[in-house]
Amino acid sequence: MTDITRINQNTEVTLHFTLKLPSGDVVDSTVGKKPATFKVGDGSLLPGFEQALFGLKAGDQRSFEIEPERGFGPGNVQNIQTVPRDQFSDMELEPGLLVIFKDAAGGEMPGVVKAIHESFVEVDFNHPLAGKVITFEVEIIEVKAA
């Protein structure tokens, strides 16, 4: 009798996945592309997404709803900042626009324009998926000991 390897702490998993918003819009997917491979616990998947996979084996297909607390977080009002309007002199501003800022270390910090006022702009630096329930569809291709 062969032992079927199921996803747990000491496994490497190859899978296809699709992330969807409650509206059904697809955020990300590997379907039709190269599948994703990761080691459980390596940080490439958020813990809530990883935990949903535990116990699955090659060939399994599932769909999970991941609550914000187990996904990208609930969002934090402190991550909504006001930026002087004159910093956007060359831009057509509109709510929902993604803007990339440089942080003090020279790294990129994406923010989404929430509201535009006469002298300032409200920019949300929360992860774009924060506060959203995400549907996580998976097809497990291979599970092996890590």
**Model confidence pLDDT, tens digit, residues 15-52:** 999 999 999 999 999 999 999 999 999 988 888 999 99
Same domain, 67 and 120: no
Question: Residue 106: inside a domain, yes or no?
Answer: yes
pLDDT in the model for residue 90? 82
pLDDT above 70 for 79? yes
- The secondary structure of 81-112 as a DSSP string is EEEEGGGGTT----TT-EEEEE-TTS-EEEEE
State the greatest distance between any 2 C-alpha atoms of the chain, in Å, as a whole number.
Answer: 72
Query: Residues 83-89: contacts with CB within 8 Å, 24+ apart?
Result: 83/120, 83/121, 83/122, 83/123, 84/119, 84/120, 84/121, 85/116, 85/117, 85/118, 85/119, 85/120, 85/121, 87/121, 88/121
Shared domain check, 45 and 94: no
Please provide residue 77's backbone torsions phi and psi, each rounded to the nearest 5 degrees: -60, -25
User: In the prediction, which pLDDT does 71 show?
Assistant: 93
Is pLDDT of 57 > 60? yes
68 with 82, same domain: the answer is: no
DSSP 57: B
**Which CATH number does the domain housing residue 26 bear?**
3.10.50.40
- If you average pLDDT over every residue of the chain, what do you get? 93
133's tokens: 């329930």
Segment 103-128 mean pLDDT: 92
pLDDT at residue 1 is higher than 60: no
Q: How confident is the model at residue 2 (pLDDT cuts 50, 70, 90)?
A: low
Q: Which CATH number is 112's domain given? A: 2.40.10.330
Q: Is the pLDDT of residue 119 over 90?
A: yes
Q: Is residue 1 part of a domain?
A: no
Q: Does 54 share its domain with 101?
A: no
- Please check whether residues 59 and 37 belong to one and the same domain: yes
Least confident of 2-6, 66-70, 126-130: 2-6
Pairing label, strands 134-145, 26-29:
unpaired
